[in-house]
Amino acid sequence: MSREGRRAPEALPGLLAALAYLFLYAPILVLVALSFNESRLSAAWGGFTLAWYTKAARDPAILSSLRNSLLVGFATTVIATAAATAAALAFHRHRFRRQGVLEGLLTIPTVAPEIVLAASLLLLFAAAGLRLGFLTVILAHVSFTVSYAFVVVRARIAGLDHSLEEAAMDLGAGPLRAFLKVTLPAMFPAVMAAALLVFALSIDDYVVTSFVAGVGATTLPLQIYSMVKTGVSPEINAVSTMILLATALLLLGAFLIEQGRALRLAALPAAVGFAVLGAPFVMAGGAGSPADRTLNLYIWSNYIAPETLAKFEKRHGVKVNVDLYDSNEALLAKLQAGNAGYDVVCPSDYSVEVLLAQGLLRTLDRSAVPHLANVDPAFLDRPYDPGNAHSVPYFWGTSGIAYSRRRVKEPPASWGALWDPRYRGRILMLDDAREVLGAALKWRGHSQNTKDPLVLAAARDDLLRQKPLVRAYNSTNFEDVLLSGDVWLAQAWNGQIARAMAQDPDIAYVLPREGSTLFIDNLAIPRDAPHPALAHSFIDFTLEAEVAAEICRTMRYSTPNRAAWPLLPSEVRANPAIFPPPEAVQRLELIRDLGEATVLYDRLWTEAKSE
Ligand code: N2P
């Protein structure tokens, strides 16, 4: 065999290993590289910059979420490490019946699915009547990190010689002194390693935190996720790179201590890890103190511009916390779990109906919302909230089909276009049970509020047949996916498409001939809102003509505010995608609460998506 022939197989394992590592680390490398990219676009390299890091460090939302993460991280670390150490010592010192079982039970949370843990914690807190916030986040973090800390400490002290402590006591030391002078120093490295691990886990957690955070306790991972929802910016790459670096250093510290290296050696990476997390505060010149009066707003994404919120903050000397959602079902779940801490929410028509039936909304004090007089009566006194006793209209709009003119030659006049095999892999549907089943129902000439199980099952089958053509189910940034060219046809809500149309004349929007959804989204105050007076001020603020016009101009959903109409630029007022002509409105239908039949919609939607 020639020498070359022999060398190739020898090099193979090395090559495979290199490929495997590349597969593991390539995404991270891309993220880190893009965090230094001068260009906003991930597709093009525009030169090296640190600007995204400075920008992130000056962003108040990032700073306050980082502060929250650190607070939660430190509290969790102290509590979980102390509890785990006590437990490990107890198991080490004493022998008792069922010890193995009990030890095993302590470690289960390390392998239990996080989502189960998250849901059960949320249920527990709701049952206990705890308001979601810092306390619940810390309790939740302790409940899963304590297991990891226990495993670390327990493994390390397995070899600890108990007779040393006894010898110390024989020499006259009291039990406390013997513990402090003999046992604790011997355990110290294990305790430190556990503490660093707990801190890193707490700083990183998304799933559990997203269930139990409520308002005001938004941690850094939650903040990053909500930023991703409104569009991926290079700032996120910068923040993610910092978190990555900090956790890697903390874990390296923990690893070195566990390996029995000198504490001094391990302290270095750990200290740098903490410094990375603290740096933004130094760069920002210290964190500003949070305003004592805060309005907690829970609203659809792409529904209000930061400048509008800033105006309200300035006028009232308060801070507005905003959390975003992309489906009525997400909002309902949050409010039904209780104690979410929101002051103002934005349910669509049928969700107002659901919330009212469950007594979850506060009756409005009409004298505190005088600008309601600005609203066109056509949007008032609808069956979902007679007399608007609990809600005021904020935006209205439509669902329709958005498309690329270049790619889709004839305008898609029917919902059937979304089942056209020519567009396989280029179709996007909203990620929304009522809207997507609604489109299938409308296509076949039914009401989107039907309760007929046979008709509904047929709609599910239509969705199953459509599935191979669908690129994505997305209710968040469908307009971006269309703009990027990844999809050519999208079931969409009008406002975000109107914004996309202003950016790119290739995008168009139609209301299918079979009809589609008319939605009226409303501001309302949850029954347990912590700041109802401020909530009323906010609602009234959005009803002022100038403010309503600004909200419509920036977000491009349709305003029901009559007084705002003359203040709108003509490209908004005369855009049929924003204000459809009356004959088109005729074909639209409100989604209604279907009571018991909602379960059926949920089930069919799950079947359509998961099969
Ligand atoms: C905003 C979506 C429009 C709300 N992102 C549909 N009711």
- How far is the C-alpha of 151 from the C-alpha of 94, rounded, in Å? 17
* Arithmetic mean of pLDDT, 260-278: 80
**Is 521 a pocket residue for ligand 1 (Cβ < 6 Å)?**
yes
Q: 348 CB under 6 A from ligand 1? A: yes
Show Cβ contacts of residue 94 under 8 Å, excluding neighbours closer than 6 positions.
none
Mutation choice for ligand 1 from 226, 230, 299, 300, CB with most ligand atoms inside 8 A: 300
Residue (of 21, 499, 455, 39) closest to 230 by Cα position? 499
Counting from 1 in the atom list of ligand 1, the atom nearest the Cα of 519 is: 7
Nearest atom in ligand 1 to 476's CA: 5
Grouping H, G, I as helix, E, B as strand and the rest as coil, residue 132 is coil
Q: What is the pLDDT of residue 276?
A: 83
Alpha-helical (H) ranges within 518-586 are: 532-543, 545-555, 570-573, 582-585
Among 31, 428, 63, 60, smallest CA distance to 233 is for 31
Distance 430 CA to ligand 1 centre (A): 10
Distance 301 CA to ligand 1 centre (A): 7
Residue nearest ligand 1's atom 3 by CA: 493
Q: Which of 8-22, 302-316, 332-346 has the highest mean pLDDT?
A: 302-316
Write the pLDDT tens digit of every residue in 431-483: 999 999 999 999 999 999 999 999 999 999 999 999 999 999 999 999 999 99
Per-residue pLDDT tens digits for 336-364: 887 788 999 999 999 999 999 999 999 99
Structure tokens at 461: 């089958």
Residue in the block written with tokens 């527990």: 124
Contact 389, 355 (CB under 8 A): no
**What is the spatial distance between Cα 600 and Cα 586, in angstroms, rounded to a whole number?**
28
Rounded to the nearest angstrom, the distance between the alpha carbon of 598 and the centre of ligand 1 is 20
Residue 82 CB neighbours (<10 A): 15
Backbone angles phi, psi at 427, to 5 degrees: -115, 135
Which ligand 1 atom minimizes the distance to the CA of 348?
7
Give the pLDDT score at 38. Answer: 84
pLDDT at 286 over 80: no
Counting residues of the chain whose pLDDT is more than 70, the rounded percentage is 95
From the CB of 350, is ligand 1 less than 6 Å away? no
At residue 34, the pLDDT reads 86
Tens digits of residue pLDDT in 104-148? 888 888 888 999 999 999 999 988 988 888 999 999 999 999 999
The stretch 276-303 carries a mean pLDDT of 73
391-404 and 294-300 as β-strands: parallel, antiparallel, unpaired?
unpaired
Name the nearest CA neighbour of 383 among 280, 498, 520.
520
Residue 588 has pLDDT above 90, yes or no: yes
Q: Is the pLDDT of residue 230 over 60?
A: no
By the 10 Å C-beta count (0-12 exposed, 13-18 middle, 19+ buried), 233 is classed as middle
414 Cα–ligand 1 center, Å: 22
Q: Hey, what are 315's tokens?
A: 């006028």
Mean confidence (pLDDT) of the chain: 90
Report the pLDDT value the prediction gives residue 6, as an integer from 0 to 100: 56
Q: State the alpha helices, DSSP H only, in 94-133.
A: 99-107, 114-127
- Rounded Cα gap, residues 435 and 442, in angstroms: 10
Number of alpha helices (DSSP H) and beta strands (DSSP E) in the chain: 25, 10
Buried b (16+ CB within 10 A) or exposed e, 435-474: bbbbbbbbbeebebbbeeeeebeebbebbeebeebbbebb
- Which one has a higher pLDDT value, 41 or 38? 38
What does the block give as tokens for 413? 């006049």
Confidence of residue 412 (pLDDT cuts 50, 70, 90): very high
Tell which atom from ligand 1 comes closest to the C-alpha of 493. Answer: 3
Residue 467: name the closest of 419, 399, 404 by CA.
419
Dist. CA 268–CA 441, nearest whole Å:
63
CA pair distance 200, 210, nearest whole angstrom: 17
Q: Give residue 521 CA to ligand 1 midpoint distance, Å.
A: 8
Distance 493 CA to ligand 1 centre (A): 6
Res 2: pLDDT = 52
From 557, 588, 592, give the residue whose CB has the most ligand 1 atoms within 8 Å, as the site to mutate: 557
How far apart are alpha carbons 515 and 586 in whole angstroms? Answer: 8
Q: Within 13 Å of residue 282, how many CA atoms lie on the same side as its CB?
A: 6
CB 528 within 8 A of CB 600: no
Report how far ligand 1's centroid is from the alpha carbon of 420 (Å): 26
493 lines ligand 1 (CB under 6 A): yes
The pair of structure tokens assigned to 473 is 């189910």
pLDDT digits (tens, 9 = 90+) for 40-72: 766 678 889 888 888 888 777 788 888 899 999
Of 142-151, 161-170, 543-552, the poorest mean pLDDT is in: 161-170
Crossing angle (nearest 10°) for helices 453-466 and 433-443: 100
Contact 112, 120 (CB under 8 A): no
- Overall average pLDDT of the 185-198 stretch: 88
User: What separation in Å is there between the alpha carbon of 149 and the centre of ligand 1?
Assistant: 43
Contacts 24+ apart (CB under 8 A), 327-330: 327/431, 327/432, 327/433, 327/475, 328/434, 329/432, 329/433
Look up the pTM and report it.
Answer: 0.70
Q: Is 300 in the pocket of ligand 1 (CB under 6 A)?
A: yes
Give yes or no for residue 302 CB within 6 A of ligand 1: yes
CA 555, 558, 561, 563 torsion: positive or negative?
Answer: positive
Q: How far is the CA of 352 from the centre of ligand 1 (A)?
A: 15
Number of the ligand 1 atom closest to the C-alpha atom of 399: 6
CB of 303 within 6 A of ligand 1: the answer is: yes
Q: What is the mean pLDDT of residues 370-383?
A: 97
| Amino acid 517: pLDDT | 97
Q: What are the beta bridge partners of residue 493? A: 399
Among 406, 596, 368, residue whose Cα is nearest residue 506: 406
Residues 284 and 303 sit within 8 Å (Cβ to Cβ): no
pLDDT band at 490 (very low <50, low <70, confident <90, very high): very high
pLDDT at site 305: 93
Q: Which carries the bigger pLDDT value, residue 259 or residue 380?
A: 380
Mean pLDDT of 155-160: 80
Please report, as a single letter, which amino acid is at residue 349: D
Instruction: Find out whether 318 and 535 touch, Cβ atoms under 8 Å.
Output: no
DSSP label of 559: P
Burial of 566 (0-12, 13-18, 19+ CB in 10 A): exposed
Asked if 180 contacts 171 with a C-beta cutoff of 8 angstroms, the reply is no
